[in-house]
Structure 1
Amino acid sequence: MRNRLLETIAPTAFVVMWSSAFIAGIIGVGAAPPMLVLFARFALAGAVLTLYAVAVRAKWPCGRELVHVLIAGLLMQMVQFGAFYTAMADHVSAAVISLVQGLNPVVIALFAGSVLGETVTRRQWAGFGIGGVGVGLAVVDQSHFSAIGVALCVAGLLGLSLGTVYQKRFVPHVDSRANTAVHVLVSAPVAGIFVLAGGDTHIGDPIRFTGSLIWMVAINAVACFLLLNAMLNRFDATRVGRLFFATPAVTAVLAWLLIAQPLRPLTIAGLGVGVLGMVLASRGGATASARRRLRPGGEPAATAVAHPVPR
């Protein structure tokens, strides 16, 4: 009965929860500076995930292994979310950021070709190009378009993709529970430094700030993490990976319903083209053993099977 319930409800629940992270992020940066939101999120999520890792007696990395985990964590957490949250504050829509993040497996495939010795097929190159066109269509349709916002989205995508490849190159077998906690914990003080350097700690709307923070920690950082690992333990990784193809569209609908972000025809077309590129790029290329090497645990697991990291 439990397995049947998980198979029926879990995929839909996961897609909605994952997509909601972009909505919570936009609400948060609308109430407080993005780095302050990020610092609070990392600090709280780090405490919760550390307690969980201790409770389940996860094996913690140490020595040189720990150094590699720290570097991967800064790329995947601080660079990715620092760029994405700043882009949100620059009025880049949730749908566009979700679509850009969804191109992560394409970029991973490109990096993996040189770093992990994988073959990038013509179909994957085509998928990369088509996905880029989709992002371009969605971005052009935004009323608050800015080159800085687009550059931030690209920086966030590169942080996530480089961090994933780095981790699977140097520390592919770290316990996912401790790994995720370390990623968040090392990013919290860095975000705090940016808060102090910026000098802006004003919270314009404490209620919205607190509500978005609770959601990001409880749902996106913890519940998504647990549900993702439960699905990866019971389902084929490819099946779980396909769920991420739905997140840009679900994010766009949620943003339209909950925070009144417009859903224009060109944005819808861009989402469709972008998802097509993601699907093409996910097919073929890596060998089975290489795909196994690219499957991290915890938050990065989502990254490898098709897409980031609980937001």
Structure 2
Amino acid sequence: MGIVQSFISQMWPPKPKFSVDDIPDLSGKVVIVTGGNTGVGFETAKAILPRNAKVYIACRNETKAKAAIEKLREATGKDALYLPLDLASFKSIQAAASDFLSKEKELHILFNNAGVMEPDISELTIEGYDLTVGVNVLGHFYFTKLLLPALLAVALNSDGTIKARVVNTALVGTELNSKLDYEAFKDGPVRRKLGTEPMYYQSKFANLVFSTEFSRRYGEEIITSCVNPGNLATELQRTLRGVKRFVINRILYPAPYGALTQLYTGTSVEGVTFNGKYFVPWAHLWKPSPASQDVETGKWLWDWLEEQVKEA
């Protein structure tokens, strides 16, 4: 399928093939939703809490987290838990993972849902990385890496009959990228010349590459998938301005729609077969771009990510 057809299909998707009513009982399952205080993350938590999962809302703002948890309680009658996490800070990521591992032995579903979109070019992570790449890619990689003991324990404790699931987030437009510009991932002339929009697309392409590589390395123990949640009316668009904001607002769908695809890959019975797969709105299997599946590209990204956190 060509790029134009791909865009049209993903921006004006067919009817959902999955609904929240299809989510199975999740009793005994432990779930983390990064960015679960708002948007797609909030809708994801709201859908799985009634299915008896133990849900951690991982985000940086305690006030917003507590407000979201109260709204979730009102909507579901269930209590989510707050896990402080700032994906723009290695120390915060370490603290969040340590906090979680001190409380839980297993992690059954990790929704790497949080993200930033086109912040001001001056904004960087604590360690000096581009904020978009730092949060969307590097932060989630490091968080997932530190949570591996709990993710791997699911298969170990069940003799392989049950596997944890990791769901990563890409977007429509990954086809526009065919390579990763590592020089732009930290502040400097290359990054500033590219600007914020290309960095956002770089980050989402990198997420698909990372997800594919993770599925190669841990497919025996963990089911890893990647999703395009869709074009959604959420806080992700809060930094957009002017004409771009006006145009994009005309093609946005409600946030609950965006949760469907990751709920499908993260909770459905058939999800046991989804390792290394890519899904688009609403819960439809999709063939990812060849560039995102390239073995050398995946290895290079993995090595770069490992190098950044090895002395964190």
TM-score (norm 1): 0.30
- Greater relative contact order structure (CA < 8 Å, 6+ sep): 1
TM-score (norm 2): 0.30
Greater helix fraction, Structure 1 or Structure 2: 1
